[in-house]
């Protein structure tokens, strides 16, 4: 069990000396952690599904959906590590270039290229959110 869950169980104990505010803070922290874990799993899965659809269906709205998926994921699960931020930005910039080499594969290369290009759109949304969070943290820093 993680430490927060142990503290929460201690809060539920009737003999607990912790007040109701502590109960609420612990519960909200656990709930927030569960939501963050879910968005970290669901956003990439949803991005892969939408990118796969966008590979075969030519609809411009799918690119907007991919950017929104990346933005929401980046806002709900921000990256604070500078190395991770750099990796996300580089991935968003270079995935389409790398994907162009997939055209050399006979029969499926064109589809792989399109899929990676579409997935890179979601990564670009995540990178934009990471940059927004970084600028916000620098502006609001003490």
Average pLDDT, the chain: 84
Put simply, whether the predicted model's pTM sits higher than 0.75 gets the answer no
- Give the pLDDT of residue 35: 58
What pLDDT is stored for residue 110 in this prediction?
94
**% residues pLDDT > 90 (the chain):** 59
List, for residues 49-82, the tens digit of each pLDDT value. Answer: 999 999 999 899 999 999 999 999 999 988 888 8
| 108-124 residue pLDDT tens | 999 999 999 999 999 99
DSSP conformation letters of 35-80: HHHHHHHHHHHHHHHHHHHHHHS--THHHHHHHHHHHHHHHHS---
Tell me, what DSSP letter sits at residue 101?
A: G
pLDDT in tens, 1-18: 566 566 555 555 555 555
Whether pLDDT at 131 is above 80: yes
Q: For residue 89, what are its two tokens?
A: 């930005």
Q: Which whole number is the average pLDDT over 10-30?
A: 58
pLDDT of 38 reads 80
Phi, psi angle pair for 60, to nearest 5°: -65, -25
Task: Say which DSSP state 18 is in.
Answer: -
């Amino acid at each position: 069990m993680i430490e927060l869950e142990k503290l929460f169980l201690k809060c539920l104990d009737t003999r607990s000396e912790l007040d109701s505010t502590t109960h609420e803070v612990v519960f909200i922290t656990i709930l927030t952690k569960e939501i963050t874990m879910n968005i970290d799993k669901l956003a990439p899965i949803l991005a892969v599904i939408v990118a796969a659809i966008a590979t075969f269906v030519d609809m411009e709205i799918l690119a907007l959906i991919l950017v929104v998926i990346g933005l929401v994921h980046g806002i709900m699960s921000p990256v604070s590590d500078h190395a991770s931020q750099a990796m996300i930005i580089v991935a968003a910039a270079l995935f389409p270039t790398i994907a162009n080499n997939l055209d050399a594969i006979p029969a499926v290369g064109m589809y792989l290229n399109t899929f990676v290009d579409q997935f890179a759109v979601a990564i670009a949304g995540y990178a934009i959110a990471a940059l927004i969070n970084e600028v916000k943290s620098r502006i609001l820093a003490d």
